[in-house]
Structure 1
Amino acid sequence: MLPMHQMPDCATPLTGGNAAQGTGTQPAATLTVLNVAYPLAPVGPDAVGGAEQVLSMLDRALVHAGHRSIVIACRGSSTSGTLVEIPAENGMLDEAAKRRAQEAHRKAIAAARARWPIDVVHLHGIDFDAYLPDDGPTLVTLHLPLDWYPAAALRPTRGDLWLHAVSPSQQKTAPSGARLTAPIPNGVDIQA
């Protein structure tokens, strides 16, 4: 793991699995996906939150398929690909803690984009609009009820920003003027 504050200048991040070369059948084109977790919850196969478990499954699948997966998440996370850690917030998770975590995410995203040739940024947090990159191909998975997101965040104007719901029933609850792509169903592995 590489703490975010060390990433721009120093050591190579630790990778779980073989992120650079992939495993199994090598795809025709290797993608580099920057998955960005909600900044206040650790990611991993046994994470408490469903969004964090889904991100973990995507990370694992990307690495298994031979792609590069880079994950920005708080300390305490575990990934198959490259983990770029931000500090975990301890104590009361108030607005100040949330702002610190969001600022750490903004810096980590910028540093990762400067370091690696990112093909797509994939945001998973309910507060994605607080650290949304200004440009570049970006996908946002809306894991939670749509009325929990600021309505303005659901009306992107960029041509390289896509938002999607996780089910047709969730998509039907979109506020007027929301610009969402077709839903991409998700779920967690209950067999694991």
Structure 2
Amino acid sequence: MTAVTLTTTFMVIEVIGGFASGSLALISDAGHMLTDSAAIGLALFEMWAADRPASHRRVSEVFHVLIDGTPENVDVYKLCHEIEELDGVTIVHDVHVRTISSGYLSMTAHVLADPAVDVLDSDNQLRSIREIVKRHGIHHTTIQLEHSVVGCDQENHHVDHLMATEREIRKKSKLASFLTHSH
């Protein structure tokens, strides 16, 4: 507690001195001391909360929600793998699983459908994906079902390998179409 008091006192003195003398260096250092005081204060609060198990757990949950962290009870890799095992699903990317409120989870994801799958089958794919997501304890799902990786490179989803695969599929499809129609 003494550290917070001393740091905060010197911070106030530096702010007053900085404004009085027009010293940007003192004001800037006071800003650094503000973050130091906040960090020490947060550490002291955590130590206090640690003495109260239920309170500490609740504080941790709230902090996890505030930093938009993935819930610990959700295995995102397993979830994505199960979705990718569905017929017609090529890959799942840009996945975000978060806690909206205590015990209420949400997921957003982009799902690339196999280009050979009929677009009209999208409703069945989405229904199957939502069933898998629900089994993982996630209550709200927003899925962007894609039939091409075009545009994904602009969203920085690291899909260069997908774009190369799609180009190969299109080349093979054009070649097959050419061979079929040339006879």
TM-score (norm 1): 0.22
Q: Please identify the structure whose Cα radius of gyration is greater.
A: 2
Q: Which one has the bigger helix percentage?
A: 2
